[in-house]
Structure formats: structure tokens, C-alpha cells
């Protein structure tokens, strides 16, 4: 009888699992018992991912979107996301080390180059940072997110595993937004479901507005994440041939739209409108559909509660005809000041910026130069692009913008490369969906900083995997014809 490497690994995992189970059962100490339970969970996770690597991507999606690490830290426990990433990455590496590494990634090479150059630019900004700890933390966080991206690239090797990851996002977001819908409908904003559905109060002069903030307690950024997730389910409603799945998708879409409405995020409203327009253009909808949709929106606005319409009306201050509109509304004035302050940081430190993660501690120093609005304490830039400019300078900005453009161009080329292949027509809507997801996130990033940029990297990982898979599908489809001609 011969024993191969894989059998040895399974045997060692079984021994470790049995040992941890014995410790858990026999020891009455609660701390030891919890440690044993955690060990059992880790071993089970390792075994599952080793057997089916695509589960690693699913686990990371659930962990990131549920923000489970914060649920632990709020209870005084250590965060779990970085150890989880390390476990998943190590398991995937061992799996492929014992078998075979995935093939080359020619179509994503440019995207990957920009990504690593952005990491280098972020690391270089450490040199000029006043707060070295923040710069180091920002660099390590980006490194962790890049590891997650490669976990996706190495595990989502077929259209089915890619779709499983996309459906995981759809279902997790649907569940989290359903919790938010419950809060709004029941008016029970104290019930936060163990931190999975958080709420922020905006206290005004005459009333209090409860803004749904999801698992991250940041309503604007949560609105950004929900809007970015909507194309994945929207195109299921349009393209799904199975009636049951189409109806489920329609229900989830309604829940997500309701969630966006109750974040009261104006940036999310604008991005959502743009996504709907781009979707209509992608499918070349009949003009009657355009006019009908616009009519429904116009007729629905008067029936919306005043808290919603008041939020919509403030958008008119951004119109060219509104003289000094941005200075008439407190939040617009504050954000304008924070953006101009970020640009002032860039002008004074054009090459490397003020250091990754160092905008907040430099705000007061540069805000006095702007003089638009002075606020005490640290502030955020409220624009990802201003943040990248201010913190990593022109070098980091070129790399980040280059990464984003290369990613969108790669998706467009991937879609065009298989548009003539009838057997892969079902794959094209998924490419369109993830492209709209990236566009939606980048649009809202004009108004929001990168406090939770991990969501963008998850979407980017899906996009890069889609580019890679599409190229492999194209090669598989054209291989028979090449063989016939040789």
C-alpha cells in the first residue's frame, strides 16, 4: 500500500482534530474549553478549505461583509480578520504546493503591477509620515487586502465557483439589509442584532433621523457598499432564466433599495441613479422603458416621507445655478473644507504626501490655511481620491487610478472577447454586473474616504478573477478550431 502526501495531510488533520476534541471534553476550565472550541473551528475550516479551496473566498466574504472582527473587538476580544486571512491563505498555499499552482494571469498582469506599485507608494509614504504607527498600519492593511485578492485569484477557478462567491455577496447583503428593513418597519432601532445592523442618529433642530448603518456603523459608507452590490442582483433580475431565482433576486433587490433609501446617503443616491442609467445603456432598453421609469420615480417622490425628500432637496445645492450652494448646508461646507484641506496637504507634499493614514492628524495644521470652516479634533477627507492624493502624493494617486482604469478596461476587453461565443453568453451579464459594481464604488468614492476600503478590494478581487476566467474560457472555446487548422 502506498501513502501519498495528501493522505498524510488528512491523517495529521484528523489527529489534531481528535486531540483538540479530547481537550475540549475532558478539561473543565472554561478558558481551556473555549480555546479547544476555537481550535476545533480552525481545524474544521482548514480541512474544508483544503478539500474545496473556493470555500476560502466564501469565508472571507462573509467575514468582511458582516464585519465580524468588530463584533469581537467590541466585546474586548482580539480581532479575527487578519488571523483568518492568514489561515485561509496558508491553507490555499499548502493545497497548491501539494498539487499544482494555477496557470499564468496574462490578462490581469497590468492590473497586478499597478496594485503592487500602489502598495510600494503606500509603504514609501511611511518615510514622511508624522504618525509612523498609522502609516505602518495602513500599509499592513493594504498588504492584507492584497493577500485576500490572491486568495480569490487562486480559488475561483471556474465560472461556478465565481458565481458562488458573487451569490455569497448577494445573500449576505440581502440578509444584513433585511435586518435594517426590520428596524425601519418596526421602528425598533435599539435592536442591532449583535452588531450586524447598526444605526446612527442624526439629531436636528426639530427631529431625529435614524440612519441605517449596517454592520460598520457608517451610514454613508454602508450606502456605498449596498449600491455597489446592487448590480450583482439587478442583472440577475434582468437575465436570470429561472423564474424562482428571478423572483428571489427581485425580492433581494427591493430590500437593498430600501436599505439605500434609509442610509440617507446622497452620494449613494447619485451613484444608484448612474448605475441604473448605465444598466439601461448596456442593454439598449426601449425609450418607452426609459420614460416609464422616469415617470414612476417622479410620481413616487411626493409620496415619500418628508425626511427622504428633505435629503433629496439638498442635492439641488450642488447645481451650477445655486450660487454658493455648498456653503449654505453645514455638511456640504464641512466636506468642502475637508477636501480643500486634503488638497492643501498634497500641494505642500506633492511627491509622497503626508503619509498613509496621516490625513486626520494633519487636518488641524492645514485647515487654517483653507479658512473655510474650523473644527476641533481630527477629521476625515470625505473623498477617497483626495485622501490618496494627500496621503500618498502623486505617485500613489497615479498607481491607484491606473489600477482602477486597468481593471475597468480589462473587464471591457474580457466581455468583448467572448461576445461572439454563443455558449458563453450567460457569462457576459456577470462581467457587466461586476464592472458596474466597480463603477458604482468609484463614483461614491468622490464623496467618501477609504475608511472601509476592504469592500472595494473584495469587489476588485472578483473583477480580476472574472477577467482571468474569461480568458481561460475563450482559450478553451478556440482550442478545437486551432487543432483543426493544424
* DSSP one-letter string for 234-299: HHHHHH--SHHHHHHHHHHHHHHHHHHHHHT-HHHHHHHHHHHHHHHHHHT--HHHHHHHHHHHHH
Per-residue confidence (pLDDT) for residue 282, from 0 to 100 = 82
Q: By the 8 A CB rule, do 234 and 171 touch?
A: no
The C-alpha atoms of residue 280 and residue 257 are separated, in whole angstroms, by: 17
Residue entry with cell 472554561: 30
CB-hemisphere CA count at 13 Å for 218? 18
The dihedral of CA 461, 431, 222, 38: what is its sign? Answer: negative
From the number of C-beta atoms within 10 Å of its C-beta (0-12, 13-18, 19+), residue 164 rates as middle
- Tens-level pLDDT at each residue, the chain (486 residues): 444 555 555 555 555 555 555 554 555 555 555 565 666 677 777 878 888 888 899 999 999 999 988 877 777 767 778 888 988 888 888 888 776 666 667 889 999 999 999 999 999 999 999 999 999 999 999 999 999 999 999 999 899 999 999 999 999 999 999 999 999 999 999 999 989 999 998 765 445 789 999 999 999 999 999 999 999 999 999 999 899 999 999 999 999 999 999 998 888 888 898 898 888 888 776 667 666 666 666 666 665 655 555 555 555 544 555 444 444 555 666 778 888 899 999 999 999 999 999 999 999 888 887 765 666 678 888 899 999 999 999 999 999 999 999 999 999 999 999 988 888 888 999 999 999 999 999 999 998 988 899 999 999 999 999 999 999 988 888 766 554 455
- The pLDDT, as a whole number, for residue 325 is 46
Cell numbers for 226, please give them: 449596498
- The per-residue pLDDT for 350 is 94
Predicted confidence at residue 287, as pLDDT, reads 67
Name the pTM for this structure. Answer: 0.87
The DSSP element (H or E) to which 210 belongs, if any, is: strand 208-214
Q: What is the pLDDT of residue 95?
A: 82
| Ramachandran assignment for 207, one of left (phi > 0), alpha (psi -120 to 50 degrees), beta (any other) | beta
- 7 alpha carbon, distance to own chain's centre: 37
Residue closest to 46 by CA, chosen among 76, 20, 9: 9
| Amino acid 104: pLDDT | 63
pLDDT computed for residue 467 by the predictor: 96
Record the cell numbers describing residue 479, joined without a space: 482550442
Helix (H, G, I), strand (E, B) or coil at 202: strand
For residue 199, the surrounding DSSP H or E stretch is: strand 198-203
CB 448, CB 225: distance < 8 Å? no
Amino acid at each position: 500500500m502506498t501513502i501519498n502526501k495528501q493522505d498524510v495531510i488528512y491523517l495529521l488533520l484528523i489527529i489534531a482534530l481528535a486531540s483538540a476534541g479530547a481537550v475540549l471534553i475532558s478539561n473543565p476550565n472554561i478558558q481551556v474549553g473555549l480555546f479547544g472550541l476555537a481550535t476545533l473551528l480552525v481545524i474544521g475550516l482548514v480541512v474544508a478549505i483544503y478539500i474545496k479551496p473556493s470555500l476560502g473566498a466564501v469565508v472571507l466574504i462573509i467575514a468582511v461583509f458582516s464585519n465580524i472582527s468588530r463584533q469581537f473587538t467590541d466585546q474586548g476580544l482580539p480581532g479575527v480578520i487578519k488571523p483568518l486571512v492568514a489561515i485561509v491563505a496558508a491553507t490555499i498555499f499548502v493545497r497548491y504546493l501539494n498539487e499544482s499552482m494555477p496557470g499564468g494571469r496574462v490578462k490581469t498582469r497590468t492590473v497586478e503591477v499597478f496594485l503592487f506599485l500602489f502598495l510600494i507608494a503606500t509603504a514609501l509614504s511611511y518615510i514622511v509620515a508624522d504618525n509612523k504607527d498609522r502609516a505602518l498600519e495602513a500599509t499592513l492593511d493594504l498588504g492584507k487586502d492584497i493577500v485576500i485578492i490572491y486568495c480569490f485569484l487562486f480559488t475561483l477557478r471556474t465560472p461556478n465557483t465565481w458565481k458562488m462567491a458573487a451569490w455569497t455577496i448577494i445573500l449576505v447583503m440581502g440578509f444584513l439589509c433585511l435586518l435594517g428593513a426590520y428596524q425601519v418597519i418596526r421602528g425598533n432601532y435599539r435592536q442591532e442584532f449583535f452588531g450586524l445592523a447598526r444605526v446612527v442618529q442624526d439629531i436636528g433642530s426639530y427631529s431625529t433621523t435614524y440612519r441605517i448603518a449596517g454592520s460598520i456603523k457608517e451610514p454613508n459608507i454602508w450606502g456605498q457598499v449596498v449600491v455597489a452590490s446592487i448590480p450583482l442582483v439587478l442583472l440577475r433580475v434582468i437575465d436570470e432564466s429561472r423564474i424562482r431565482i428571478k423572483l428571489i433576486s427581485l425580492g433581494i433587490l427591493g430590500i437593498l433599495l430600501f436599505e439605500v433609501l434609509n442610509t440617507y446617503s446622497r452620494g449613494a443616491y447619485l451613484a444608484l441613479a448612474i448605475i441604473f442609467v448605465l444598466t439601461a445603456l448596456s442593454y439598449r432598453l426601449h425609450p418607452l422603458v426609459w420614460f416609464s421609469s422616469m415617470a414612476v420615480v417622479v410620481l413616487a417622490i411626493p409620496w415619500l416621507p418628508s425626511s427622504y425628500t428633505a435629503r433629496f432637496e439638498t442635492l439641488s445645492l450642488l447645481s451650477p445655478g445655486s450660487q454658493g450652494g455648498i456653503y449654505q448646508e453645514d455638511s456640504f461646507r464641512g466636506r468642502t473644507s475637508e477636501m480643500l484641506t486634503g488638497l492643501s496637504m498634497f500641494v505642500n507634499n506633492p511627491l509622497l504626501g503626508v503619509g498613509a493614514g496621516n490625513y486626520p492628524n494633519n487636518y488641524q495644521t492645514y485647515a487654517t490655511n483653507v479658512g473655510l470652516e474650523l473644527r476641533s479634533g481630527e477629521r476625515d477627507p470625505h473623498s477617497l481620491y483626495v485622501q490618496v492624493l494627500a496621503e500618498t502624493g502623486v505617485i500613489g494617486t497615479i498607481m491607484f487610478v491606473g489600477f482602477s482604469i486597468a481593471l475597468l478596461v480589462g473587464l471591457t476587453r474580457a466581455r468583448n472577447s467572448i461576445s461572439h461565443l454563443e455558449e458563453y453568453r450567460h457569462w457576459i451579464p456577470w462581467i457587466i454586473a461586476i464592472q458596474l459594481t466597480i463603477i458604482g464604488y468609484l463614483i461614491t468614492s468622490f464623496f467618501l474616504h477609504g475608511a472601509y476600503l476592504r469592500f472595494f478590494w473584495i469587489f476588485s478581487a472578483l473583477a480580476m478573477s472574472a477577467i482571468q476566467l474569461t480568458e481561460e474560457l475563450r482559450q478553451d472555446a478556440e482550442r478545437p478550431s486551432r487543432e483543426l487548422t493544424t
